[in-house]
Amino acid sequence: MNIKKIGIFTSGGDSPGMNACIRAVVRTALTNNLKITGIKRGYQGMIENEFVNLTSRSVSNILQRGGTFLMSARSKDFLTPEGRKKAYDNLVKNEISAVVAIGGDGTFRGAIEFNKTYPDIQFIGIPGTIDNDTYGTDYTLGFDTAVNTVIDAVDKIRDTANSHHRLFFIEVMGRSSGWIAIYSGLAGGAEAVLLPEQPDSIDKLINKLEAGAKKGKTSSIVIVAEGEELGSAVEIAHQVKEKFDFYDVRVSVLGHMQRGGSPSCFDRVLAARLGVKSVEALLAGEQLKMVGLINNETTLTPFSEAVSKAPPFNKDLLRVAEILSF
């Protein structure tokens, strides 16, 4: 395929490092004498013809910024054949034959569907989500920054928890995955971590908290992944309070603060490596694949696998957290 111009967009929930990744894609494209166009608001901007020409200067000074300057969206219109037709017509009008999509599994599913009718547009994806729940990469873009944001909050909450003899339930993001929970639980020294990858029970949790209290703990932190099957942090706190009144109980839901902020060094380096690799993959003729990092090497995984396989969860982290929580 003879590519002259690449399109780039960010889609789904934003994540820290997306700007650094756009910069890497733009500069790699320009280095290879390709033109590059930014598509605003993901698939929705593709449908509404929101295209902006990008130069090396357009991406100066964005490396360190959270969010995405191309904006992001979850497009309902792209789920329809009419929406996809408009998107295709706009790509052709703007002379774009290859696209880099930074997003999560919804973004890659959209590309798979689009390709069934319009196979002449090449797609390469980059996993951008704080959840770290994508098959085909050890780390997604934004995860490292998000867990650093969380442990900063956990450290601060621990200060006040300890001053008041309190038990805190801290709810962290992760729609259906416990990566943020286990990393922040381990790094923040939580007494317990509740996450969807492991079965939990209120009684087991109370036994653990009781054992800690008997050993002289004056405060406790429980990290709850938002996808935890026992319920939200508020619901779990309520159940624990009814049966175990040793501590004064409080709940803190960290929410969208986890999605913002300047990307960490790790995320900036990851953004650079995945961004460069994505353009190289397009030039090598690759189609419908996601760039990832496995064992510190950049890799390509077909979108079909990235969206259908569950990423393996590292159970050893749970074992280590369990050992250290007493």
Out of 37, 44, 129, 134, name the contact with ligand F6P by CB under 6 A.
129
Binding string to ligand F6P for residues 76 to 115, with x set by CB under 6 A, is what?
----------------------------x-----------
Instruction: Please report how close the Cβ of residue 272 comes to ligand F6P at its closest, in angstroms.
Output: 22
Measured from the CB atom, the residue of 141 and 157 that comes closer to ligand F6P is 141
- Which segment (94-102, 123-131, 196-204, 277-285) binds ligand F6P by CB under 6 A? 123-131
**Element of type H or E holding 19:** helix 18-31
Out of 27, 158, 259, 277, name the contact with ligand F6P by CB under 6 A.
259
Q: Is the Cβ–Cβ distance between 125 and 303 less than 8 Å? A: yes
Out of 24, 39, 173, 271, name the contact with ligand F6P by CB under 6 A.
173
Residues 4-15 as b/e (b if ≥16 CB within 10 A, e otherwise) read ebbbbbbbbbbb
Straight-line distance from the first to the last Cα atom of the chain, in angstroms, rounded to the nearest whole number: 59
Our finding on whether 191 is near ligand F6P (CB under 6 A) is: no
Instruction: Please report how close the Cβ of residue 281 comes to ligand F6P at its closest, in angstroms.
Output: 24
Give the C-alpha separation, 206 to 264, whole Å.
36
Q: Is the Cβ–Cβ distance between 141 and 18 less than 8 Å? A: yes
Give the C-alpha separation, 184 to 221, whole Å.
11
Q: Is the Cβ–Cβ distance between 301 and 123 less than 8 Å? A: no
Our finding on whether 130 is near ligand F6P (CB under 6 A) is: yes
Out of 125, 174, 178, 292, name the contact with ligand F6P by CB under 6 A.
174
- Which segment (169-177, 214-222, 292-300, 309-317) binds ligand F6P by CB under 6 A? 169-177
Catalytic option among 14, 131, 133, 267: 131
156-164, Cβ contacts within 8 angstroms, sequence gap of 24 or more: 157/221, 157/252, 158/188, 158/189, 158/219, 158/221, 161/219, 161/220, 161/221, 161/250, 162/218, 162/219, 164/219, 164/248
Give the C-alpha separation, 282 to 124, whole Å.
7
Q: Is the dihedral of CA 196, 202, 203, 209 positive or negative?
A: positive
Measured from the CB atom, the residue of 11 and 220 that comes closer to ligand F6P is 11
**Element of type H or E holding 289:** strand 289-294
Our finding on whether 251 is near ligand F6P (CB under 6 A) is: no
Measured from the CB atom, the residue of 29 and 150 that comes closer to ligand F6P is 150
**Element of type H or E holding 125:** strand 122-127
Question: Is 131 an active-site residue?
Answer: yes
Instruction: Please report how close the Cβ of residue 256 comes to ligand F6P at its closest, in angstroms.
Output: 6
Our finding on whether 131 is near ligand F6P (CB under 6 A) is: yes
- Which segment (95-103, 125-133, 208-216, 262-270) binds ligand F6P by CB under 6 A? 125-133
For binding to ligand F6P (CB under 6 A), which residues are involved?
A: 13, 104, 129-131, 173-175, 226, 259
Catalytic residue numbers? 131
